[in-house]
C-alpha cells in the first residue's frame, strides 16, 4: 500500500516545490486514510458539518473582499482563457466578472508583448517597451484577478494582414507555442475578441491560431514532442466576441451566445465590474490616455443610455459531447458538467446548506468550518479523476485557509540585486495574527539548485511575527537578467525567481503557504547605459562618435578594480584601447571615454565615413573572465545641413530630436510650452513639434497661434505625425485646425517598411538641398513608412512623396509643405522619429533637408 500510494503522489505533484513535500505528506495522507477507513470507508465525501464554535478569531480584521474571493474560488474549478494579440487586447471586463463574481480560474494569453507599439508616457520603444508592457499587463491582471502568459512572438508593429504576421512569426511556430500553453493551462473555455478578418494583422492571425489550436491541442499527433511534458487537452468551448450593432441584437435561434453585463455591481467591493476593468485598463499607461471614469468612457463612446452595452460572445467551436450552451447564458461555463467521480474531491463545505461566501460577515464561523473540513477530509478521493483540477482546488483551499486564519508568509531580501559569486540574504516572515498557536511542519526555500529545508521555530505563537533568515550564494555562472530588454523573449527580464513554501498545522488542519520574490541578476560592474547609441555621425560631425558617456554601477560592497576594453571597428579599421577602472563600493558614475586621440584628418576620414560598432568589455583585475559587454552601433550618414541653423524643438516622449540634431551638428534648444508662449522665437530658423506633440502637451494647442506667427514671419515649422483623434478639429476639446491651411487626418498607414517611395515633385528643394535625396535614402527603414496619413488637405500644400502597401492605392499626403507668409509649414505622417532613433542614414539626409528648408540662402 505504501509504495502504490507514493507512486501515485509522484504523479500528482509534478510541480517542483511540492515534490519535496511528498515524503512528508505521504505519511500524513496514509495516516488520514487509515483513520478514515476506521471511521467508515475511505471514499466518504467531505462533509461540511460545522464543528462546535471555537474561539478561532484572528486579532486582525479579516479583509472581506479577499476572504470572499477565496471562498467563491472554492466553488469554481473551471479555467477560462482569454486569448489576445497584445497587452490591452484582453477582455478585461469579462475576465473580471468571471473571476470576481464567479470564482473561475482566469488566465490570459498574449501573442506578443506589444513592443512594436508607441509609448504614450516615456522614451522606451521596442524590447524596452515590451518589458514595460509586460509589467503593465501583470498589474492589470492583478486587478482583473487573472494570470497573464505570453507566447513571446515578435511585435513588429502594425500589420494589415494575418499573412504578414505569419511571415514574421512562422505559422507553425506560433501554433506550436499556443498549443503548448493550452496543454499546460488546460482551459475549459477559451474566449477572444479577435476574429479572423478584421483589424490589426496580429489580431487576425491570433484569431486564426486559436481556432486551429483549439483542435490541435487535443490531437496527440500534433506537436507530439510536447507530450513528454504535457498531455493533450481538449477545451470544451471557444467563443469570439461580437462587435458593433450585432452585439446588442438578441441571439438568433441557432446562434449560441453568452452575455456579460459590465454594469453589474460587485456586492463585496461596491464598484461595478466595468469600473474594476477600467482600473485594470488604466494600468496599460504606455497605451493611454484612457478614460478617467466610466462617465468619461461613455462620453468617449457616445453612449447616452447611462449604461454600458452588454458584452456578447458567439460560440465558435465546441468539443464533441459537450452539453449545449443554454439560451441567455450569463457565463461561458453555463451547462458544463464535471465527471461525477471528481465532484466529491472538489466540493467545499457549506454552512446551513449555503455557500461559505454568504458568511463573509461571520469569519469566525467560516474559519471553524474550514478548519474542521480540512482536518477531516478524505484525501483518498485523490485516486480518481482530473488531477490538475484537483490541484487547482487544493491550492485554492490552501489560500482560503490562509486568508481565514490570517496566517501569512512573505519573502524578502535586503539585497536589491544579485551578483554572480556574491552572497545574499533572504528573510522569510511569518505572521500569525490569530489567538491560536500554529505549528510549522515544514519550510522550504527554493532558490538556486535544490530546495533547501529550513528549520523554523516549530511554533508560531498567537499574535506574533516570526522570521527566518536564509543565506545564499549566487552561483558564479548564474545567467544575468539585465539589460532587461535583452531578456524579453527568454522570460528572464523579471529576474531570478525565488519561493518560500511552508506547510503549517492549525488545529489539525494542514495547509500550504507560499511566497515569491524576483531579483535581477547583475554583473559585478554593470554598464547601465552608453550614450549616444546608436551613434550617428554625418558630414557635419565626422568626429562625433569619438567620445561616449558610459554609465557604470559597482554592485559590490567592496571596491571594484578592473579594466574596460574598447574595441572600435569602422569598415576595415579597428582600434582598441584599455582603460583602468576603480570604483568605490556601490559607486555609480558616468565616465566619458574617448576612443580617438586625433581630430579628423586625411588618413582617418575614410574610417569616419563608414559605419561600424564599438564594443565595451569589462573584466575584473583578478580574472580573465568577461564580466559584461555592450555594443554600440556607429552609423555614418552623408548628410549636410544649411549653415548657421538654429533649431528649436518641442520633444514629446524621448530624446531622439536632441540626439539627431546633435549628430547633424546643428545648434538646437528644447523648448517648453511657456517658451513657445512668450520667448522670442525669431532667434530660431526652424521649430519642430515632435510626434504626437499636441497630445503630449495639451497646452500647446492654446499656444499654437505663436507657432503660426513664427511661420508668417519667415520660420519653418515641422510637425511630426499625430493620430487623427489628437489632431483633427474638435469643438468639444476646444481644438481648432492646427495647421495654417486645413489638414484632416485619417487612420491609414503604410506598414511595409520597404514599400516603394515615388517622388512626386522631383525638383522640389526638399528633395534636393542640401542633400539630393534618392530612393536609396528609403532603404533599411524599420517597422513602417508612416501612419495616420492625411485624407484631405488644402490646395496650398505640395505633396512630395507617394507610397502604399502592396495591393493598396497610393497615399500621397505623407509629407505636405506649404508656404505661409514669409515662412514654411511642413506636416509629415512619416515615422521619422523611428528611423532617426534607429540611425537610418537616409532619414538623416531627409531630416537635414526639412530643417534646412527655407534657410539655404540666408
DSSP string, 665-677: T-EEEE--HHHHH
Beta-strand relationship, 535-538 and 626-637: parallel
Neighbours of 24 (CB within 10 A): 13
How large is the greatest C-alpha to C-alpha distance in the chain, in angstroms?
103
Nearer to Zn ion, 199 or 344 (CB): 199
Least distance CB 348 / Zn ion (angstroms): 38
Neighbours of 37 (CB within 10 A): 14
Least distance CB 812 / Zn ion (angstroms): 28
Least distance CB 178 / Zn ion (angstroms): 16
Stretch that binds Zn ion, among 84-92, 231-239, 276-284, 769-777 (CB under 5 A): 84-92
- C-alpha 196/C-alpha 205 separation (Å) is 7
Least distance CB 117 / Zn ion (angstroms): 8
Neighbours of 563 (CB within 10 A): 13
Least distance CB 63 / Zn ion (angstroms): 34
Residue with smallest beta-carbon separation from Zn ion: 86
Instruction: Note whether 358 and 278 are within 8 A (CB).
Output: no
Q: Does 89 bind Zn ion (CB under 5 A)?
A: yes
Residue 81, beta-bridge partner list: 107, 190
Size of the site for Zn ion (CB under 5 A): 3
Stretch that binds Zn ion, among 79-87, 351-359, 547-555, 588-596 (CB under 5 A): 79-87
Instruction: Note whether 650 and 631 are within 8 A (CB).
Output: no
Q: Does 86 bind Zn ion (CB under 5 A)?
A: yes
Nearer to Zn ion, 89 or 188 (CB): 89
For residue 772, give Cα distances in angstroms to 769, 844, 846.
Answer: 6, 12, 9
Nearer to Zn ion, 85 or 153 (CB): 85
Query: Which of positions 210-229 make contact with Zn ion (CB under 5 A)?
Result: none
Stretch that binds Zn ion, among 83-91, 93-101, 470-478, 605-613 (CB under 5 A): 83-91
Please give the backbone phi and psi of residue 457, each rounded to the nearest 5 degrees, phi first. -55, 130
Q: CB within 8 A of 135, min separation 6: which ones?
A: none
**Residue whose entry in the numeric block shows the C-alpha cell 534618392:** 774
Q: Distance from CA of residue 325 to its chain's centroid?
A: 34
- C-alpha 608/C-alpha 604 separation (Å) is 6
Least distance CB 283 / Zn ion (angstroms): 16
Q: Does 90 bind Zn ion (CB under 5 A)?
A: no
Least distance CB 99 / Zn ion (angstroms): 22
Least distance CB 140 / Zn ion (angstroms): 14
Stretch that binds Zn ion, among 77-85, 97-105, 403-411, 647-655 (CB under 5 A): 77-85
Nearer to Zn ion, 204 or 628 (CB): 204
**Residue whose entry in the numeric block shows the C-alpha cell 555594443:** 631
Least distance CB 209 / Zn ion (angstroms): 14
Least distance CB 490 / Zn ion (angstroms): 23
Question: How many helices and strands, by DSSP H and E, does the chain display?
Answer: 21, 38
Nearer to Zn ion, 86 or 537 (CB): 86
Least distance CB 554 / Zn ion (angstroms): 41
Stretch that binds Zn ion, among 29-37, 81-89, 333-341, 464-472 (CB under 5 A): 81-89
Stretch that binds Zn ion, among 80-88, 374-382, 596-604, 626-634 (CB under 5 A): 80-88
Nearer to Zn ion, 200 or 496 (CB): 200
Query: Which of positions 617-676 make contact with Zn ion (CB under 5 A)?
Result: none
Selected binder of Zn ion within 80, 82, 85, 568 (CB under 5 A): 85
Helix (H, G, I), strand (E, B) or coil at 812: coil
Instruction: Note whether 749 and 778 are within 8 A (CB).
Output: no
Least distance CB 206 / Zn ion (angstroms): 9
Least distance CB 84 / Zn ion (angstroms): 7
Peptide bond preceding 532: is omega within 30 degrees of 0, i.e. cis? yes
Nearer to Zn ion, 115 or 394 (CB): 115
Beta-strand relationship, 798-799 and 686-689: unpaired
Stretch that binds Zn ion, among 43-51, 86-94, 443-451, 576-584 (CB under 5 A): 86-94
Stretch that binds Zn ion, among 78-86, 172-180, 312-320, 782-790 (CB under 5 A): 78-86
Nearer to Zn ion, 165 or 718 (CB): 165
Least distance CB 195 / Zn ion (angstroms): 13
Show the cell assigned to 67.
Answer: 476572504
Peptide bond preceding 534: is omega within 30 degrees of 0, i.e. cis? yes
- Please report the sign of the dihedral spanned by the C-alpha atoms of residue 74, residue 76, residue 80, residue 86: negative
Show the cell assigned to 836.
Answer: 532617426
- C-alpha 210/C-alpha 216 separation (Å) is 9
Instruction: Note whether 719 and 739 are within 8 A (CB).
Output: yes
Q: Does 193 bind Zn ion (CB under 5 A)?
A: no
Nearer to Zn ion, 163 or 591 (CB): 163
Least distance CB 132 / Zn ion (angstroms): 16
Nearer to Zn ion, 198 or 469 (CB): 198
Beta-strand relationship, 716-719 and 786-787: unpaired
Nearer to Zn ion, 177 or 194 (CB): 194
Nearer to Zn ion, 89 or 835 (CB): 89
Quick one: which of 420, 250, 423, 235 has its CA closest to 333? 235
DSSP string, 145-202: T-EEEEEEE---S--S-HHHHHHHH-HHHHHHHHHHHHHHH--SEEEES--SSSSSHH
Stretch that binds Zn ion, among 19-27, 88-96, 450-458, 588-596 (CB under 5 A): 88-96
**Residue whose entry in the numeric block shows the C-alpha cell 460560440:** 315
Nearer to Zn ion, 193 or 845 (CB): 193
Nearer to Zn ion, 86 or 101 (CB): 86
Q: Within 13 Å and on the Cβ side, how many CA atoms surround 89?
A: 27
Nearer to Zn ion, 109 or 400 (CB): 109
- C-alpha 94/C-alpha 144 separation (Å) is 9
User: Interior CA angle at 164 toward 786 and 158, to 5°?
Assistant: 35
Q: Does 195 bind Zn ion (CB under 5 A)?
A: no
Site of interaction with Zn ion (CB under 5 A): 85-86, 89
Amino acid at each position: 500500500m505504501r509504495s502504490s500510494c507514493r507512486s501515485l503522489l509522484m504523479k500528482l505533484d509534478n510541480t517542483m516545490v511540492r515534490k519535496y513535500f511528498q515524503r512528508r505528506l505521504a505519511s500524513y495522507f496514509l495516516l488520514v486514510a487509515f483513520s478514515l477507513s476506521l471511521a467508515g470507508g475511505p471514499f466518504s465525501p467531505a462533509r461540511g458539518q460545522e464543528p462546535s464554535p471555537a474561539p478561532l478569531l484572528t486579532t486582525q480584521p479579516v479583509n472581506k473582499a479577499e476572504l470572499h474571493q477565496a471562498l467563491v474560488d472554492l466553488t469554481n474549478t473551471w479555467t477560462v482563457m482569454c486569448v489576445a494579440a497584445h497587452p490591452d487586447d484582453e477582455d478585461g471586463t469579462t475576465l473580471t466578472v468571471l473571476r470576481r463574481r464567479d470564482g473561475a480560474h482566469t488566465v490570459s494569453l498574449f501573442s506578443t508583448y506589444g513592443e512594436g507599439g508607441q509609448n504614450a508616457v516615456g522614451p522606451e520603444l521596442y524590447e524596452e517597451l515590451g518589458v514595460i508592457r509586460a509589467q503593465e499587463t501583470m498589474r492589470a491582471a492583478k486587478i482583473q484577478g487573472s494570470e497573464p502568459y505570453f507566447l513571446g512572438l515578435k511585435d513588429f508593429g502594425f500589420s494589415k494582414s494575418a499573412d504578414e504576421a505569419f511571415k514574421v512569426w512562422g505559422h507553425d511556430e506560433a501554433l506550436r507555442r499556443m498549443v503548448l500553453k493550452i496543454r499546460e493551462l488546460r482551459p475549459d473555455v477559451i474566449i477572444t475578441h479577435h476574429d479572423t478578418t478584421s483589424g490589426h494583422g496580429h489580431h487576425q492571425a491570433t484569431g486564426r491560431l486559436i481556432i486551429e489550436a483549439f483542435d490541435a491541442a487535443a490531437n496527440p499527433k500534433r506537436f507530439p514532442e510536447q507530450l513528454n511534458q504535457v498531455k493533450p487537452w481538449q477545451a470544451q468551448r471557444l467563443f469570439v466576441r461580437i462587435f458593433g450593432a450585432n452585439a446588442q441584437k438578441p441571439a438568433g435561434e441557432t446562434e449560441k451566445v453568452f452575455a456579460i453585463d459590465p454594469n453589474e455591481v460587485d456586492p463585496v467591493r461596491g464598484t461595478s465590474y466595468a469600473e474594476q476593468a477600467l482600473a485594470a485598463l488604466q494600468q496599460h499607461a504606455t497605451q493611454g490616455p484612457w478614460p478617467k471614469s466610466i462617465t468619461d468612457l461613455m462620453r468617449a463612446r457616445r453612449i447616452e443610455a447611462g449604461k454600458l452595452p452588454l458584452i456578447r460572445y458567439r460560440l465558435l467551436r465546441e468539443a464533441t459531447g459537450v452539453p449545449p450552451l443554454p439560451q441567455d447564458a450569463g457565463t461561458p461555463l453555463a451547462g458544463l458538467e464535471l465527471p461525477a467521480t471528481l465532484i466529491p474531491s472538489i466540493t467545499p463545505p457549506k454552512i446551513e446548506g449555503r455557500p461559505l461566501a454568504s458568511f463573509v460577515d461571520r469569519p469566525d464561523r467560516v474559519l471553524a468550518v474550514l478548519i474542521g473540513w480540512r482536518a477531516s477530509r478524505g484525501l483518498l478521493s485523490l485516486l480518481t479523476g482530473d488531477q490538475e483540477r484537483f490541484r487547482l482546488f487544493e491550492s485554492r483551499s490552501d489560500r482560503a485557509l490562509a486568508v481565514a486564519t490570517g496566517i501569512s508568509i512573505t519573502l524578502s531580501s535586503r539585497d536589491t540585486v544579485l551578483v554572480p559569486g556574491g552572497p545574499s540574504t533572504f528573510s522569510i516572515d511569518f505572521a500569525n495574527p490569530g489567538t491560536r498557536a500554529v505549528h510549522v511542519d515544514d519550510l522550504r526555500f527554493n532558490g538556486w539548485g535544490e530546495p533547501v529545508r529550513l528549520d523554523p521555530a516549530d511554533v508560531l505563537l498567537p499574535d506574533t511575527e516570526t522570521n527566518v533568515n536564509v543565506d545564499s550564494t549566487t552561483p558564479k555562472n548564474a545567467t544575468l537578467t539585465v539589460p532587461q530588454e535583452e531578456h524579453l523573449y527568454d522570460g528572464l527580464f523579471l529576474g531570478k525567481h525565488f519561493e518560500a513554501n511552508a506547510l503549517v498545522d492549525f488545529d489539525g488542519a494542514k495547509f500550504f503557504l507560499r511566497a515569491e520574490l524576483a531579483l535581477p541578476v547583475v554583473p559585478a560592474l554593470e554598464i547601465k547605459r552608453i550614450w549616444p547609441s546608436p551613434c550617428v555621425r554625418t558630414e557635419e560631425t565626422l568626429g562625433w562618435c569619438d567620445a561616449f558617456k558610459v554609465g557604470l554601477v559597482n554592485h559590490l560592497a567592496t571596491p571594484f578594480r578592473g579594466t574596460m576594453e574598447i574595441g572600435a571597428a569602422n569598415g576595415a579599421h579597428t582600434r582598441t584601447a584599455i582603460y583602468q577602472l576603480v570604483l568605490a563600493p556601490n559607486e555609480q558614475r558616468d565616465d566619458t571615454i574617448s576612443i580617438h586621440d586625433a581630430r579628423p584628418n586625411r588618413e582617418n576620414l575614410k574610417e569616419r565615413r563608414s559605419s561600424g560598432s564599438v564594443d565595451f568589455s569589462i573584466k575584473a583585475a583578478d580574472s580573465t573572465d568577461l564580466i559584461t559587454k555592450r555594443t554600440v552601433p556607429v552609423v555614418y550618414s552623408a548628410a549636410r545641413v544649411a549653415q548657421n541653423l538654429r533649431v528649436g524643438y518641442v520633444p514629446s516622449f524621448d530624446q531622439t530630436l536632441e540626439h539627431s540634431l546633435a549628430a547633424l551638428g546643428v545648434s538646437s534648444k528644447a523648448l517648453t510650452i511657456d517658451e513657445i508662449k512668450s520667448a522670442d522665437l525669431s532667434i530660431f530658423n526652424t521649430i519642430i513639434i515632435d510626434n504626437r506633440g499636441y497630445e503630449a502637451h495639451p497646452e500647446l494647442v492654446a499656444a499654437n497661434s505663436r507657432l503660426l506667427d513664427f511661420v508668417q514671419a519667415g520660420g519653418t515649422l515641422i510637425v511630426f505625425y499625430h493620430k487623427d483623434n489628437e489632431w483633427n478639429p474638435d469643438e468639444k476639446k476646444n481644438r481648432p485646425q492646427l495647421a495654417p491651411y486645413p489638414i484632416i487626418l485619417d487612420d491609414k498607414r503604410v506598414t511595409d517598411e520597404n514599400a516603394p517611395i515615388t517622388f512626386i515633385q522631383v525638383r522640389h528643394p526638399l528633395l534636393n538641398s542640401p542633400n539630393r535625396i534618392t530612393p536609396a535614402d528609403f532603404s533599411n527603414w524599420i517597422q513602417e513608412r508612416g501612419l495616420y496619413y492625411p485624407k484631405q488637405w488644402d490646395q496650398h500644400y505640395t505633396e512630395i512623396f507617394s507610397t502604399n502597401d502592396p495591393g493598396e492605392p497610393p497615399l500621397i499626403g505623407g509629407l505636405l509643405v506649404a508656404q505661409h507668409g514669409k515662412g514654411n509649414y511642413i506636416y509629415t505622417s512619416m515615422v521619422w522619429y523611428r528611423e532617426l532613433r534607429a540611425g537610418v542614414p537616409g532619414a538623416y539626409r531627409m531630416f537635414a533637408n526639412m530643417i534646412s528648408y527655407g534657410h539655404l540662402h540666408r
